[in-house]
């Protein structure tokens, strides 16, 4: 009997190995047949059923695959692989509630195995398929709390509060909202929900009793298609990679991650940490003011101890003593937020919106403050500014939560304004985009279409209807162009423009096709029109980009060049304006309009003192003026231009030689001889 058993085991293993070989080559049906034969020899190995389930799954036989995984569970009830695949199959078949129940079992299995990170992933899947599942939200809040991730625990708690509010359980919802605020005092969504729940209009007969009107909705609460964090991996605050229990992670007091964590805290928390670290490093600066550094040190210690009022008072003293800096302004702003002094917080954050280090976090924090004040319009503008501060071209999969935070702020602002459909569409588009395959590649395509601004092209993409169809049309048009079928590409874009006439990247691509079709005038006209729309939307960067593309096609188009100069001047970009003044002058000179060229150079000359001294604009412009005067045989004005250069650069031999020649031509021999002697 033992010999027979050993023989069976060898045959069993051989069948599995052959099945694995076929699976590696993609022959799933052949692999499934071998796995079935192996199971007939030994039916107590869950791994064999899982291998069979995978082969059937890959060959498209979902029904039989599900049976195989269920048999694996019979043999091994806590088998996480089987539970995971059963959940996936049920979800794909539209059996959302069944899938949610399976993912709850999966989370339990992970917790039994002391794998809390995996349990978090499973609870998130529960919420994805059953957005009203109270147990999953509660377990997530507990898990994040144990991991000292108060920010995520607060968001799970407020999600649970919304579920209770939707069921008209107002007292429970209020209690949970208060708990969320205790976990994260500056959590704007929690403050908003708590305010709404306590409004008399929300509940007949009082703020805390009685049923809620609105067919299950919480009165004035914004309608959502499910909590924002009910999305799968990579699409929201409950991204499994945010889990605080990873093998290499270490919980930090501010709710951040240790060095081994894959996902970090919010933009505001990162900036707060940066500000405090920067101020701490300043203690080692030999030139630092000891009194100011002492105030900063005491403020940092008080903030760490949670003594917010006292810390804010010391930072105010630092500013009064002349120690104001980006770090101090931002740190003080966060303290004002914690104290719910939102006007003061906004004032401090606005001081650092031009900072490369703090712009994103500052705009985000300003948006949060406006939300807490019930000012959705102002919040929306701030979140849009934060969105544009993100360099989406460099965003990785691991950094996507930071992007999500900004876009969720935008959606909340839409909801608060009463634009619920737009908010729901915006968030749905965002979720669909980020769970799609190769979303980063799509983002690069969008960026290429719009001339390099990833954040703005992404925003346009999210806000338009039928965005996937539009992206497909732009790809098809590009393929037509590569094949030389330019007219077909133009027709493709014209067709999709009927559905999204205000999606400006389509117009930019049309301009490109017009140029390829030998229609430069039409291309320039399209680019100028698109630029004007961007400018009407207060989008200077894209407006200028469109105008620059027009200038590449028609570099001597003085009207377009003039628009670019006006824009740069309006926004204080003097060096860019000067560069374009010189190019504009060159354009006029090439058109044999010398006086117009001189006029523009003189205009640039009056502006030059405001430019960057290191770029020596005065020298460049005077040289060009002198060259033009020399070519026009205008010796007197050429001499004036060279004299201006010589006064600032007396050692420039070329300038001195040109001046000597001019003096002789003008009959000013004494001046020529004097310059010769000085040069010698």
- Please spell the DSSP secondary structure of 364-407, one letter per residue: HHHHHHHHHTT-HHHHHHHHHHHHHHS-GGG--GGGHHHHHHHH
pLDDT of residue 226: 36
Tallying the residues shown for the chain, one arrives at 680
Block mean pLDDT (10 aa), the chain, length 680: 61 86 80 91 88 88 91 89 89 86 90 78 84 88 81 87 83 91 88 80 36 32 35 34 38 32 51 73 60 80 81 90 88 87 90 83 83 71 68 47 51 52 50 46 53 49 61 82 88 82 82 89 86 73 80 79 79 82 83 84 86 85 87 85 84 84 84 79
Separation of alpha carbons 668 and 412, rounded Å: 76
Contact 492, 456 (CB under 8 A): no
CA-angle at 96, arms to 92 and 98, nearest 5°: 105
The number of beta carbons lying within 10 Å of the beta carbon of residue 349 is 30
Separation of alpha carbons 508 and 543, rounded Å: 11
pLDDT of residue 8: 77
Separation of alpha carbons 126 and 64, rounded Å: 24
Q: Take residue 628 and report the two structure tokens written for it.
A: 């033009």
Contact 545, 453 (CB under 8 A): yes
Separation of alpha carbons 193 and 326, rounded Å: 32
Measured in degrees and rounded to the nearest 5, phi and psi for residue 262 equal -95, -20
**SS3 state at 550:** helix
Fold: same for 2-206+233-240 and 267-419: yes
Q: Take residue 454 and report the two structure tokens written for it.
A: 């990833």
Quote the crossing angle between the two packed helices 359-372 and 267-281, to the nearest 10°.
120
What burial letters (b/e) apply to 119-128, b meaning 16+ CB within 10 Å?
bbbbbbbbbb
User: What CATH class has 267-419?
Assistant: mainly alpha
Q: Take residue 580 and report the two structure tokens written for it.
A: 């374009």
The number of beta carbons lying within 10 Å of the beta carbon of residue 53 is 27
Residues 6+ apart with CB under 8 A from 595: none
What does the longest C-alpha to C-alpha distance in the chain come to?
Answer: 125
The number of beta carbons lying within 10 Å of the beta carbon of residue 350 is 15
Contact 89, 69 (CB under 8 A): yes
Contact 355, 396 (CB under 8 A): no
CA-angle at 55, arms to 52 and 58, nearest 5°: 145
pLDDT of residue 535: 74
Domain boundaries, the chain: 2-206+233-240, 267-419, 633-680
Separation of alpha carbons 566 and 450, rounded Å: 22
How many CA within 13 A on the CB side of residue 171? 4
pLDDT of residue 418: 55
Helix (H) or strand (E) run with residue 593 in it: none
Q: Specify burial of residue 10 (Cβ count, 10 A radius: 0-12, 13-18, 19+).
A: exposed
Separation of alpha carbons 621 and 555, rounded Å: 20
Separation of alpha carbons 375 and 369, rounded Å: 9
The number of beta carbons lying within 10 Å of the beta carbon of residue 267 is 24
The number of beta carbons lying within 10 Å of the beta carbon of residue 396 is 7
Residue 303: name the closest of 282, 274, 323, 332 by CA. 332
pLDDT of residue 534: 77
**SS3 state at 227:** coil
Residues 6+ apart with CB under 8 A from 523: 511, 512, 514, 515, 550, 553
Could you tell me the end-to-end alpha-carbon distance of the chain, in angstroms, rounded to an integer? 115
Separation of alpha carbons 358 and 434, rounded Å: 26
Residue 136: name the closest of 86, 191, 97 by CA. 97
What distances in angstroms separate CA 78 from CA 75, 103, 589, one per listed residue?
9, 12, 82
Domain boundaries 2-206+233-240, corresponding CATH code: 1.25.40.10
- Please spell the DSSP secondary structure of 260-278, one letter per residue: T-SS---HHHHHHHHHHHH
Residue recorded with tokens 């702020």: 409
């Amino acid at each position: 009997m033992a010999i027979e058993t050993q023989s069976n085991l060898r045959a069993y293993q051989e069948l599995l190995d052959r099945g694995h070989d076929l699976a590696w080559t993609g022959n799933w049906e052949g692999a499934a047949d071998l796995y079935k034969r192996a199971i007939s020899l030994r039916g107590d190995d869950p791994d064999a059923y899982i291998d069979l389930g995978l082969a059937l799954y890959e060959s498209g036989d979902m029904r039989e695959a599900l049976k195989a995984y269920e048999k694996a569970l019979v043999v091994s009830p806590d088998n996480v692989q089987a539970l995971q695949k059963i959940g996936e199959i049920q979800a794909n078949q539209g059996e959302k509630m069944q899938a949610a129940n399976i993912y709850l079992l999966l989370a339990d299995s992970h917790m039994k195995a002391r794998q809390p990170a995996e349990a978090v992933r499973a609870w998130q899947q529960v919420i994805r398929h059953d957005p009203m599942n109270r147990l999953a939200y509660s377990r997530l809040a507990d898990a994040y709390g144990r991991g000292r991730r108060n920010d995520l625990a607060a968001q799970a708690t407020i999600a649970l509060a919304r579920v209770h509010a939707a069921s008209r359980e107002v007292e429970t919802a209020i209690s949970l909202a208060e708990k969320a605020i205790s976990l994260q005092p500056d959590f704007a969504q929690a403050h908003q929900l708590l305010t709404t729940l306590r409004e008399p209009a929300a509940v007949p007969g009082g703020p805390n009793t009685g049923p809620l009107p609105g067919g299950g909705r919480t009165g004035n609460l914004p309608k959502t298609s499910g909590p924002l964090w009910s999305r799968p991996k990579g699409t929201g605050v409950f991204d499994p990679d945010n889990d605080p229990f990873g093998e290499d992670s270490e919980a930090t007091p501010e709710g951040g991650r240790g060095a081994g964590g894959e996902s970090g805290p919010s933009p505001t928390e990162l900036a707060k940490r940066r500000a405090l670290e920067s101020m701490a490093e300043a203690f080692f600066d030999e030139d630092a003011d000891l009194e100011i550094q002492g105030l900063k040190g005491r403020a940092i210690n008080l903030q760490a101890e949670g003594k917010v009022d006292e810390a804010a008072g010391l930072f105010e003293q630092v500013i009064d003593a002349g120690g104001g800096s980006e770090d101090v302004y931002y740190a003080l702003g966060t303290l004002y937020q914690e104290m719910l002094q939102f006007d003061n917080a906004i004032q401090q954050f606005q001081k650092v919106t031009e900072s490369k280090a703090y712009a994103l976090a500052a705009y985000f924090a300003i948006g949060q403050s406006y939300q807490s004040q019930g000012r959705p319009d102002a919040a929306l503008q701030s979140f849009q500014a934060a969105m544009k501060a993100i360099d989406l071209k460099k965003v990785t999969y691991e950094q996507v939560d930071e992007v999500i935070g900004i876009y969720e702020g935008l959606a909340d602002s839409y909801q608060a304004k009463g634009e619920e459909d737009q908010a729901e569409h915006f968030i749905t588009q965002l979720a669909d985009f980020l769970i799609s395959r190769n979303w980063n590649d799509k983002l690069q395509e969008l960026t290429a279409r719009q001339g390099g601004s990833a954040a703005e092209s992404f925003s346009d993409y999210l806000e338009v209807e039928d965005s996937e169809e539009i992206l497909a049309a732009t790809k098809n048009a590009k393929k037509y162009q590569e094949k030389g079928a330019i007219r077909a590409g133009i027709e493709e874009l014209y067709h999709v423009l009927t559905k999204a006439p205000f999606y400006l990247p389509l117009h930019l691509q049309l301009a490109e096709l017009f140029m390829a079709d030998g229609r430069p005038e039409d291309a320039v006209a399209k680019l100028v029109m698109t630029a004007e729309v961007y400018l009407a939307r207060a989008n200077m960067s894209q407006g200028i980009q469109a105008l620059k593309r027009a200038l590449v096609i028609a570099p001597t188009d003085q009207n377009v060049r003039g628009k670019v100069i006006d824009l740069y001047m309006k926004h204080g970009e003097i060096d860019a304006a000067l560069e374009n003044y010189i190019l504009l002058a060159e354009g006029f000179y090439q058109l044999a309009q010398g006086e117009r060229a001189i006029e523009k150079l003189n205009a640039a000359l009056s502006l030059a003192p405001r430019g960057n001294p290191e770029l020596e604009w005065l020298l460049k412009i005077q040289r060009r003026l002198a060259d033009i005067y020399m070519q026009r045989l205008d010796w007197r004005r050429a001499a004036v231009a060279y004299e201006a250069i010589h006064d600032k650069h007396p050692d420039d031999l070329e300038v001195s030689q040109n001046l000597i020649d001019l003096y002789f031509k003008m009959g000013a021999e004494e001046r020529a001889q004097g310059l010769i002697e000085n040069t010698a």
